[in-house]
Structure 1
Amino acid sequence: MTPAPLLAALADRVRAFAHTPAGQDPPPAVPHCDCPSATLVQHPDTTVVRHAAAVAKAHAPDSDPDGLAHRVAVATGLPGVLLPPLAPAPATLHGRLVTYWPHGRPVDPGDPDAAPWEAAATLLARLHRSPLPPGPPPMRGPAKTARAVAALRALPRPAADTAAVLRAWDTLPAWARGEAPMPREGAALCHGDFHLGQLVRHPVPRGPWLLIDVDDLGAGVPAWDLARPAAWYACGLLPSGEWDRFLAAYRAARGPAVPPDGDPWPVLEVPARALTVQTAARALTKAAEADRRPDEGERRVIDACARMAALPLASSRG
């Protein structure tokens, strides 16, 4: 749970941002009001609080101040692609880095037929085609995957199927495990943790779709941002029609992560395998912590790891 002093401070500051005209510095506090407020996310490493049209996010305790400041600056400089922040740099509250953002309308998880795959692909293509800023931090996708595997290894009792997931992990090159720098060739500005939950409409309710969550933004392999939908498609969790729409829209927007035509899988294979391992590791960890069996969707990615472990990467096959 989020410490009570931090939660109260977040509520006070986001209220100030919500009632301050754009371009002005918010006062230290504003009177209480009847505007809608809510704690949207409350995890050990992330807390998100909303008040009216503003959102405050407390980032992970180990967040790098310089890296986060750089990422927020990138969001400021890419309007129409990334949701722009309400403040130009992170603040500090009770020892945690905090950023402030406009409230956006998220994708409705209960209406999969309305999933904005084309809009998402177009935004990613525009992000990948954006000039890399000077001295960008690395995209943190591989590091996030490594943390998921480390959490699986750290379970007090090894979960069933852990060995298969770790064998699939071992098939990946060092850069995809966060153990070596990412390839420089073709490096682009990447989101680092793309899924449909990283999209909002702004202004609410029918503004354009924009990407949110800059925590993992940075220079890296752009195919990583296509890897989660690719992995879902390969595991049977994403219908082929939706995958085709996503890929076609990305190519139509001249996204550089994959060739403009032909088979994209030689480029996507390593990132898609890595995201499959990450998803399976998290699934096993959550199931073990809740003392339950993996559900059907989780079972599919775990079984995919078993298949990957038995089949080496295409680049390493004779």
Structure 2
Amino acid sequence: MKQKYVIGIDVSKSKLDCTAISSTLQIQSETVIANNEKSIQSYLKEMLKVLKVKKEDILICCENTGIYNRPLERICVKSGLNLWVEHALRIKRASTDMRGKSDRKDALRIAEYGVRYNDRAIIYSEPLDHVKQMQILTKSRETLLSQKIAIHNQLREAVSHDRFEYNLLVQSYKKVLKTLEVSIKEIEEKIELLTNEDHDIRRSKELLTSIPGIGNICAVNLIVITNNFQSFRNAKHLACYIGVVPFKNESGGIIKKERVSKMANTKIKKLLHMAAMATIRSDQELKAYFHRKVSQGKNKMSVLNAVKNKLVHRIIAVINRNEHFISKNELTLNEEKNSCILT
């Protein structure tokens, strides 16, 4: 459905710059409001009266700015208004006029993007309650883990170059490291508890970890970014989002090497990289594929990216079929056993 009006919102920590335009790109209103639920609710209620339209006639578009989006997201869901949270780089690259930079102008660019690409709009919906909690906990775990790694790196450098400094650092960090380890363990236990409480999430995790190379942490993060696979049901869509799909790089007679897009979820891409490394060691099918392609002269990283892509297809396959992963070798053995029983 093409909305009659689009409200482009440039989100910052303390304020929202809002520009309402019609489907013909005519500016209807430009306003700056505080970034809190009360101000947002009052503004949107007023805009419905001013424009004399129903809720379904308005599309609200903004960039993904993380936690600063939360008041707007909550109010839109609560009020039943259509909200499109788009990747900032997509809006920037789609803009036809990049002269000048201000929050007011950015709001207009976002609104124009919402009008031009209305047919591509993905309406925001709140993540599942358990998924939302898992998202916060995984983020907390990553923060604590990065602190722990930073301390261990410092100790590793000191032990090989200055033993005196190392001994002092060990005494200084002893309690901190112990606290970090306890906190990380508690968070992991909470995530495990949340996973087991929800039948659908527990089932998704079981299916994902049945795939060689996919561990608990990777499975949990996949469930979080996909809202337990409600946001992604297509393997190509998910692979593109993660950043493992190579795109052509050609112009006229010039043909360059295919490259993956930088517009990717780097966090899950790193986890999938580790999963791919584990897979080519443990899964005979993908191990043979990797070595065959490398022996043919293919770049190792390109082949590893192809393995990641295959893993994404396996992930979506087990979720859609609601069946544990079975390798081709296991499938062949099962068929042979069944044929022997029948004969």
Give the TM-score normalised by the residue count of structure 1: 0.30
In terms of Rg, which structure is larger? Answer: 2
Q: Using CA pairs under 8 Å that are at least 6 residues apart, name the structure with larger relative contact order, 1 or 2.
A: 1
